[in-house]
Structure 1
Amino acid sequence: MSLPVKPSLADLIESFFRRRLIAQRNSSPNTVAAYRDAMKLLLIFVSERQGKAPSDLEVEDLDRDVVLDFLDYLEEVRGNSVSTRNARMTAIRSFFHHVAMTDPPSIGIAKRVIDIPNKRTTSSVANYLSKDELKVLLDAPDRTTPLGRRDHCLILFLGRTGARVSECCDVNAADLHLEWPQQVLLRGKGKKERAVPLSEDTAQQLKALLEERGLASDSDVGVFVNARGKRLTRHGVTHILKRAHTTAAKTDTDLATKRISPHSLRHTTAMHLLKSGVDLTTIQSWLGHASVNTTHHYAEADLEMKQRALDRCSDPETPLVMYQPTDQLLAFLATLCGVDRRITL
């Protein structure tokens, strides 16, 4: 009786993406793209180190020490943050769980890699804009042009809804309900859907944008597109915000010192809701956080709220209120998912 053929590393990677992520787990395109990028970087790193083509690598070439060296390379050479390092490790760990299930002789190697812990990160204060700063940023685009009106609407949408950049890029005209009650259907992590209210000004700007583009309200066409009519990507949205930030910083010196990104506008939404008295559980649902502990980070960041709490504590009459490419394997990875995720090698 012949023994089963041991799968190659290339076989394992292909089955991981095709069977495990796409067929079995129905992972989102963004998840597939993130895992693809992590594996591509790892393969190139090990290939150069071992002097082998990526397609010729074996599971044994990706042992614990090599993976640890790769993680250090991400931080020290590529200049990645600890969060990015941990995100890459999450993808690698998921792959080696697949290896352990698919290739029993490699369980030992897989377990040693799986047991690599995430690196602890230092907690940073959420970066967000005040209402006045957000207004200055909204005034930056030239609204006499179609692209300027799109940019203004995009910034308003991100600053009012707290949508993740991927959620924003995925919004279709059919996801918008612009009559009372105005709301947008967002598709978050794990393909979870949630309805988020739209402010009156956001709904009016979105309605004007759809009318200008001639989009029907039931159309499955992206709301935010580039000059060629293609959906904006994460990079495109970031570029638009940087351009608006550069213009706004000329009139607001305080804004010039702020880091502006899609995520900082998400923080901005959360902080404005918090300061308006919205409870953390509602904000958790609004932002699509899996745990209220994530949302609690915003309460920790709000020094004004802490000062008001201190003032109330000092007043004995006020009750205290508590709040809680050429290589075949690399070529295969390049075919996965249509998400635009550029890697600089």
Structure 2
Amino acid sequence: MKWQNAIRDYQIYLKIERGLSKNTIQSYTNDLDKLILFLKDNIINISPITIDNDIIQKFIYDVAKKLNTRSQARIISGLRSFFDYLIFEDYRQSNPMDLIETPKIGRKLPDILSEKEIDELISSVDLSHPQGERNRTILETMYSCGLRVSELISLKISDLFFDEGFIRVIGKGNKQRFIPIHYKAQKYILFYIKDVRKHTVIKKGYDDVLFLNRRGKNLTRQMVFTILKNLSIKIGLKKKISPHTFRHSFATHLLKNGADLRAIQQMLGHESITTTEVYVHLDNSYLKEIVETYHPRK
């Protein structure tokens, strides 16, 4: 079996059987591409069926010289998944990754924005600009619901259940969840639909997409990143932010104000509570900062 054929079949498996997103599948593929490039550079002619632990170990050593521990861990995990798939399909009897240890990585706390910084960013949107109302609505929706950027750009009008106070989101693995939406975000969305979006010439097939670009099609991930980048420059924000920063801020502010961790997990669409628990650590960091700033013994 050639590498290209094995990877193609693996991609189909990830999409059909595991329901992973296009971006996640590409990430898995990139890890395999690194291994193939290593084999090519070192003139090692071997198939995915016969590659052994010794060669994998040499590859990992090579990776360790170039990438941080978090990237190393991701590659090891990705390769382990690939060879597990080959075992599942009876192409191999064992996984050459079994003896490879994953490097220990510290828990990286996500960057967040303060409530004041959120307000400053949203207030800085130029509403005289043709896309101003849309951009303000995007920010309000991200902060109100803690959406991933992929969930935001695929949000549909038919996903809005404002009478019940919820929106429907299709998250990772094509899993559906319902998220409460704040009345302020509802207000901006309704205004955008009735007074702004209706003036856009909508391309065929995009009638139900909520957030549209100037050409009447759905927004791209990069466009949302660019909107945030330009606003952060405008207000002189020193932090490097992304749509995910709004998601982290949403969760942290809820937790700080007394929300239940299990409820936050459901709203974020985390499969495991351990993923959500990072916000407990983040909140503890916030409390430590409060003590150091305001305690009379500082």
> Shorter-chain TM-score category?
0.7 to 0.9
Q: Number of matched residues?
A: 284
Question: What amino acid is aligned across from residue 138 of structure 1 in structure 2?
Answer: I
**Is the counterpart of residue 145 in structure 1 residue 133 in structure 2?**
no
What is the TM-score with the length of structure 1 in the denominator?
0.71
Q: In angstroms, what is the RMSD of aligned CA positions?
A: 3.0
Distance 1:23 1:246 in 2: 41
SS at structure 2 position matched to 1:186: strand
Distance 1:190 1:226 in 2: 26
Distance 2:61 2:231 in 1: 35
Shift in CA distance, 13/176, structure 1 to aligned 2, threshold 3 Å: same
Distance 1:74 1:232 in 2: 35
Question: What amino acid is aligned across from residue 270 of structure 1 in structure 2?
Answer: A
What is the TM-score with the length of structure 2 in the denominator?
0.81
**Is the counterpart of residue 44 in structure 1 residue 37 in structure 2?**
yes
Higher alpha-carbon deviation: 9-18 or 200-209 = 9-18
Query: By how many angstroms is 1:281 displaced?
Result: 1.3
Query: By how many angstroms is 1:51 displaced?
Result: 7.7
Among the aligned pairs, what percent are the same residue? 28
Query: By how many angstroms is 1:221 displaced?
Result: 3.4
| Mapping of residues 141-290 of structure 1, within 5 Å | 141-177=125-161, 179-211=162-194, 212-214=196-198, 221-249=208-236, 255-256=237-238, 258-290=239-271
SS at structure 2 position matched to 1:50: coil
Query: By how many angstroms is 1:137 displaced?
Result: 1.1
Do the aligned partners of 1:46 and 1:61 also contact (CA within 8 Å) in 2? no
Distance 1:103 1:66 in 2: 21
Do the aligned partners of 1:162 and 1:266 also contact (CA within 8 Å) in 2? yes
Deviations 1:228-284 (A, max 9, x none): 3343333332222111111121xxxxx42x231222211100111112211111111
Do the aligned partners of 2:142 and 2:243 also contact (CA within 8 Å) in 1? yes
Distance 1:130 1:220 in 2: 36
Deviations 1:86-131 (A, max 9, x none): 3333332221112223354x434xx222443332211233321111
Hey, what does 1:333 align to over in structure 2?
Answer: none
Do the aligned partners of 1:174 and 1:220 also contact (CA within 8 Å) in 2? no
Shift in CA distance, 87/307, structure 1 to aligned 2, threshold 3 Å: closer
Shift in CA distance, 51/66, structure 1 to aligned 2, threshold 3 Å: closer
Do the aligned partners of 1:284 and 1:295 also contact (CA within 8 Å) in 2? yes
Hey, what does 1:3 align to over in structure 2?
Answer: none
Question: What amino acid is aligned across from residue 222 of structure 1 in structure 2?
Answer: V
> Which segments of 5 or more consecutive residues in structure 2 lack a partner in the other structure?
292-298
> Which segments of 5 or more consecutive residues in structure 1 lack a partner in the other structure?
1-6, 250-254, 310-345
